[in-house]
Every structure is written in C-alpha cells, then in structure tokens.
C-alpha cells in the first residue's frame, strides 16, 4: 500500500477542487431521498425498534403496555438511537422523530466520509464518491440504526483525530475530545467503536510502522472501563450453524438491497476498484490497512457477540467502505461522471422501493383500525426463501404495539439480551416469520403464536392455505388479512 504525506494547516479548496466538493455535498444531501418519499421507513427491523422506543417512553403511563411489557434500561454499547429518540419524540412525536433520525444518519454519514477524505487529502476525489455507495449499506437497510449511527460518529471522530494530529499542539490536546467521543461511539454501538479503533490504529501504523501504533488509540479506551464494570449486554459468542456457508452468503450480500443484478455487479465493481488500487499502488495506507483488517476480521469474528447478530457482516460493509475511501487516484476528468454512478443507481432503487412499500404499509396498517386497545396480535409474515430483496414487512406487526398498545410477537424481547421484556414467555421475534419456498403451502392452522392470541394479522403476497380453527377474517387488503380468533 502506498503512503501519503500529511497536509498541515487548514487549506481552502482551489478552483479545480471546489466543484468536486460541491458535487459531493449535493450527493450527500440526496441521501435523504428514501426517507423523504416514505412516510414509513422501509427497514425490516425498524418497526420493532420503534415499538421498543414507545414502551421505553410511555410504558409506565399506559396500563396495557404495563400489562404486556417490562422495560429495563441497560447502559451498554448499543443504545445510540434509544438515547436520541427521547428529545426527538418530545418535539416531533415518536414516529416523526424516528423518521427524522433515520434521515439524519445517511446525511451525516455522507458528510462524514467527506470529512475523512478532506482531513487526509484536503480535496474530494473519486474515492469519496465510490464510498458513498455504502451510505445505504445493508446494515442501514436492515435497520441496524444504532450501528449506523455509531459508524457515522466514528467517521467524524476519525476525521477529527487526523486533523488534530497535524500539529504538535493538536496531538498534545487530542486525548481531551477523544475520551468522550470514544465513549459516545461505543454507546451508539460496540461494533462501531471497534471500527473507529481499527481506523485509528491503521492510520497510525501507516505513519510509524512501530509499536507506538498499538498504544496510539488509548484515548478511545474509556469504554473498557464501562464494560469492566458490567455495563454491557449478556449473550454468548457464536458462529452459528454451517458458519462456512453463512460467511460466503454475507460476502455475496455485502451490497444487498432490492435488485440482485445491481447489488451483485456493484459488489464486483467495488472489489475490482479496490483490487486495482492495490495492484497499481494507488491505495492510501492510512485507510487501506484499516480496511484490510476489517475485511479479514469479518472471517474471524463470530456472527453473534453479546447477543447481537451480524457482528461479522457489519465488518464487511464497513471494511469495503473504508477501502473505497482509501483509493488515492487523481482520476482524469472523464472518470468523474462515472464515480457516483453506483451510488446514484442504488439510491434510485432504494428510493423507489421505499416509496412503493411505504404506500403498501399504509394500506396494511388499516388492519389495526379493527383491533381494540390492549389486544394480543399474532403477526405472521410470509418471507419467500427464494427472494433476494430485503423484506420490508418482517416486523410490521410491531406497529400493533405503537398504534393499539397491543401484545405483538414481532418485537426484539429476548431476556438478558434486549431491554424490552414480556410479562410472559414465547412471544418474541422471529416467531412471526414464515420462511417458505414459493411452492410450500402457508398453513396457519397450528401457527404457534396464534394459539393464545385475540387476532391473527397475516402479511404476504400469497393467500394462506389454512387459518386456525374458528378464525373469522374481518379485514382484507391485497397482501394482508386480519382474522379474529376463537379464544
């Protein structure tokens, strides 16, 4: 990997560098388009997170929520949006507040990528525009909001680290802001804090190539004290079943969204760009080493850490983003219009799919008009095994909590892992998912969560072959039905 000299002081963009900076600003602002066109953010996990926030804020004041749910606050490395949502909900309301936070994360991630490149090179290059393709990574699209928020904070913190390191006074005072920023990044999400530490180590290693780089990130280690005091979630580390198949699958899905040809060819293009930069010595080691460590780490790291899923998947998307940002190539003018093409194509697909599925969600939520307050609702969502696209409706049942103070089986509520608990057992995610092939019948006659529920809310593009005995369908839409159960 090539090494680049530091730029010292604050420099203004000259004429040649100003227009890429302006273009990047416009593209970063454009990243909020999916949220602007969708009243309901179409991230599969999002409704379950929103339901948790709702119980956290209002659970003690609403009798039905108190009847069904217990919320136990835990100060841990996975509470970023949980902390932010309180003031946003107080001002804008819960659903609108969550939507605003969802829009701010990609916006500030885009500007964070620009801040990192500017701190290193004092210009915006094709590398930044290529890295933009990971603003809406699968982590954001699934709805891992705390990690996405933490990754955004990590980018800005790393940019500040580099900027302060360009003068003796800055290096002397750098630990002061880094101690709280490291803790803030960890509080958003532990994995994002790990990404930040690796970026700082890689940057310092490329400068010194000695033991100092191993101790250089010490100002970011305050969370170690918090974890030593027990402020973390429980849960064992696990690679899961058939881990070698799973590792191949998450690499193939490193840019997964809605349209397989674009996602797959986009990944091929990114890998070729990174490989070409390494082969022609156009990879900036100040970011390249960190990107390499993250990508290698995605193979070594378990899938489950402290009860969280996709610990290794997060490292793939973060590693590819950092590697893209590390490409140090003064591209000819004809390349510039091509540089943001992948980002714009992905953004367009995401925006259109969110707009369509948000409208579909609005129709499906009509089922809740027929559910009384405090009812128990068994959610059943058909997820076709053959589908490539992320399923936007997997946790739609959690809206029953938000709209009707209902019991729903679509929440993240595993004891000793999540802060949201149920007052009884056996009614948590992923019991709502019906993962079936297209030719398998959808038989709900003995659907477990429906055995003690008041209502069954089915969502899917195929009609169920059977419903529980005595169920009466009281509402229908094109891809959904609500049945009142016999109990």
Provide CB contacts within 8 A for 196, sequence distance 6+. Answer: 153, 154, 157, 158, 182, 185, 220
| Total count of residues recorded for the chain | 487
Residue 447: pLDDT over 60 = yes
Provide CB contacts within 8 A for 363, sequence distance 6+. Answer: 477, 478, 480
Spell out the alpha helix ranges (H) of 189-310.
Answer: 190-208, 212-215, 222-228, 243-252, 260-279, 285-300
Domain count, the chain: 2
Residue 103 resides in a domain: yes
For position 309, what pLDDT does the model report?
A: 81
For position 426, what pLDDT does the model report?
A: 65
Query: CA torsion angle for 344, 345, 349, 350 (degrees, to 10)?
Result: -40
Residue 15: pLDDT over 90 = no
Residue 7: pLDDT over 70 = no
Provide CB contacts within 8 A for 357, sequence distance 6+. Answer: 38, 42, 392, 393
For 130-153, write each residue's pLDDT tens digit: 999 999 999 999 999 999 999 999
For position 397, what pLDDT does the model report?
A: 96
Q: How many helices and strands, by DSSP H and E, does the chain display?
A: 20, 8
- 190 and 295 share one domain: yes
- 144 and 190 share one domain: yes
High-pLDDT (> 70) share of the chain, %: 94
Residue 459 resides in a domain: yes
Cα angle, residue 36 at apex, residues 31 and 37 outer, rounded to 5°: 110
- 214 and 89 share one domain: yes
Q: How far apart are CA 357 and CA 354, in angstroms?
A: 5
Please tell me the pTM assigned to this model.
Answer: 0.93
- 328 and 444 share one domain: no
- 23 and 143 share one domain: yes
Provide CB contacts within 8 A for 345, sequence distance 6+. Answer: 262, 266
Six-digit token string for 260 = 């397989």
Residue 47 resides in a domain: no
Q: Are 65 and 380 in contact (CB under 8 A)?
A: no
Q: How far apart are CA 191 and CA 61, in angstroms?
A: 34
Question: Would you say the C-alpha torsion 360, 458, 382, 317 has a positive or negative sign?
Answer: positive
Q: H or E element: which one contains 433?
A: strand 433-436
Residue 94: pLDDT over 90 = yes
- Lowest-pLDDT range of 29-43, 105-119, 225-239: 225-239
Give the pLDDT mean for 431-455: 93
Give the pLDDT mean for 354-379: 97
- 416 and 275 share one domain: no
Q: Which residue has the higher pLDDT, 136 or 6?
A: 136
With H, G, I as helix, E, B as strand and everything else as coil, classify residue 230: coil
Number of other residues whose CB lies within 10 A of the CB of residue 355? 17
Looking at residue 92, the DSSP 8-state letter turns out to be H
Provide CB contacts within 8 A for 396, sequence distance 6+. Answer: 47, 361, 364, 365, 379, 381, 410, 459
Question: Would you say the C-alpha torsion 110, 115, 116, 122 has a positive or negative sign?
Answer: positive
Residue 239 lies in domain: 15-30+74-339
For 34-69, write each residue's pLDDT tens digit: 999 999 999 999 999 999 999 999 987 899 999 999
Q: Which residue has the higher pLDDT, 1 or 72?
A: 72
- 267 and 362 share one domain: no
Residue 3 resides in a domain: no
- 376 and 265 share one domain: no
Pick from 284, 313, 339: which residue ends a domain?
339
- 227 and 298 share one domain: yes
- From the list 362, 326, 360, 411, the residue with the least C-alpha distance to 117 is 326
CA atoms within a 13 Å half-sphere pointing along the CA-CB vector of 165: 18
- 229 and 318 share one domain: yes
For position 293, what pLDDT does the model report?
A: 96
- 366 and 322 share one domain: no
Residue owning tokens 């780089």: 213
Residue 382: pLDDT over 80 = yes
Q: Which residue has the higher pLDDT, 421 or 109?
A: 109
For position 59, what pLDDT does the model report?
A: 83
Give the pLDDT mean for 88-114: 97
Backbone angles phi, psi at 473, to 5 degrees: -75, 120
Residue 304 resides in a domain: yes
For position 233, what pLDDT does the model report?
A: 58
Residue 252 resides in a domain: yes
For position 239, what pLDDT does the model report?
A: 79
Q: How far apart are CA 404 and CA 407, in angstroms?
A: 9
Six-digit token string for 51 = 């339901």
- Lowest-pLDDT range of 118-132, 164-178, 293-307: 293-307
For position 8, what pLDDT does the model report?
A: 43
Residue owning tokens 């590792």: 247
Residue 14: pLDDT over 80 = no
Residue 58 resides in a domain: no
Pick from 339, 373, 398: which residue ends a domain?
339
Residue 350 resides in a domain: no
- 307 and 180 share one domain: yes
Pick from 291, 308, 339: which residue ends a domain?
339
Query: CA torsion angle for 258, 259, 263, 264 (degrees, to 10)?
Result: 130
**Which residues, listed in sequence order, are joined to residue 458 by a DSSP beta bridge?**
380, 481
Residue 215: pLDDT over 70 = yes
Q: Are 379 and 396 in contact (CB under 8 A)?
A: yes
Spell out the alpha helix ranges (H) of 307-450.
Answer: 311-326, 341-364, 399-404
Cα-Cα end-to-end distance for the chain: 67
Six-digit token string for 167 = 């003068």
Q: How far apart are CA 84 and CA 77, in angstroms?
A: 14
For position 277, what pLDDT does the model report?
A: 94
Six-digit token string for 16 = 């040649």
For 181-210, write each residue's pLDDT tens digit: 999 999 999 999 999 999 999 999 999 889
Give the pLDDT mean for 433-439: 91
Q: Supply the DSSP string of 387-407, one letter for each residue.
A: --SPPTTTTGGGHHHHHH--E
Residue 5: pLDDT over 50 = no
């Amino acid at each position: 990997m090539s090494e680049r000299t530091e730029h010292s002081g604050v420099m203004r963009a000259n004429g040649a560098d100003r227009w890429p900076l302006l273009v990047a600003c416009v593209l970063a602002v454009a990243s909020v388009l999916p949220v602007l066109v969708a009243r309901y953010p179409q991230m599969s996990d999002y409704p379950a997170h929103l339901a948790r926030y709702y119980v956290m804020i209002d659970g003690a004041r609403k009798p039905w929520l108190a009847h069904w749910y217990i919320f136990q606050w835990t100060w841990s490395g996975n509470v970023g949006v949980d902390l932010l949502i309180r003031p946003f909900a107080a001002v804008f309301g819960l659903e609108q507040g969550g939507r605003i936070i969802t829009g701010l994360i990609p916006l500030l991630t885009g500007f964070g990528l620009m801040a990192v490149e500017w701190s290193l090179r004092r210009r915006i290059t094709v590398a930044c525009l290529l890295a933009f393709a990971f603003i809406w990574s699968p982590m954001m699209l699934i709805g891992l909001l705390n990690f996405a928020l933490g990754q955004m904070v990590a980018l800005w913190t790393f940019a500040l680290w580099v900027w302060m390191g360009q003068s003796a006074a800055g290096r002397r005072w750098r630990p002061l802001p880094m101690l709280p920023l490291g803790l803030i990044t960890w509080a958003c999400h532990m994995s994002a804090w790990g990404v930040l530490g690796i970026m700082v180590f890689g940057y310092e290693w490329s400068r010194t190539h000695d033991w100092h780089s191993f101790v250089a990130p010490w100002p970011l280690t305050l969370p170690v004290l918090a974890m030593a005091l027990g402020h973390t979630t429980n849960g064992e580390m696990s690679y899961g079943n058939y881990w070698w198949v799973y590792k191949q699958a998450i690499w193939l899905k490193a840019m997964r969204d809605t349209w397989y040809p674009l996602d797959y060819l986009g990944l091929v293009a990114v890998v070729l760009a990174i490989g070409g930069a390494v082969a022609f010595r156009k990879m900036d080691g100040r970011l390249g080493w960190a990107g390499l460590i993250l990508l290698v780490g995605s193979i070594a790291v378990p899938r489950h850490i402290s009860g969280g899923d996709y610990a290794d998947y997060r490292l793939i998307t973060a590693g590819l983003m950092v590697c893209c940002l590390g490409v140090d190539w003064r591209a000819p003018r004809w390349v510039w219009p091509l540089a943001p093409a992948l980002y714009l194509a992905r953004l367009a697909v995401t925006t259109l799919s969110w707009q369509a599925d948000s409208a579909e969600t609005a129709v499906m939520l009509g089922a809740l008009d027929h559910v009384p307050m405090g009812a128990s609702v068994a959610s059943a969502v058909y997820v076709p095994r053959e589908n490539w696209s992320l399923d936007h409706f997997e946790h739609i049942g959690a809206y029953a909590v938000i709209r009707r103070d209902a019991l729903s089986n679509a929440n993240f509520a595993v004891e000793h892992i999540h802060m949201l608990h149920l007052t009884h057992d056996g009614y948590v995610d992923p019991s709502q998912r019906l993962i079936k092939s297209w030719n398998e019948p959808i038989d709900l006659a003995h659907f477990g969560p429906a055995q003690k529920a008041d209502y069954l809310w089915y969502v899917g593009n195929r009609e169920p072959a059977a419903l529980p005995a005595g169920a009466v369908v009281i509402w229908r839409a094109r891809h959904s039905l609500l049945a009142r159960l016999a109990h």
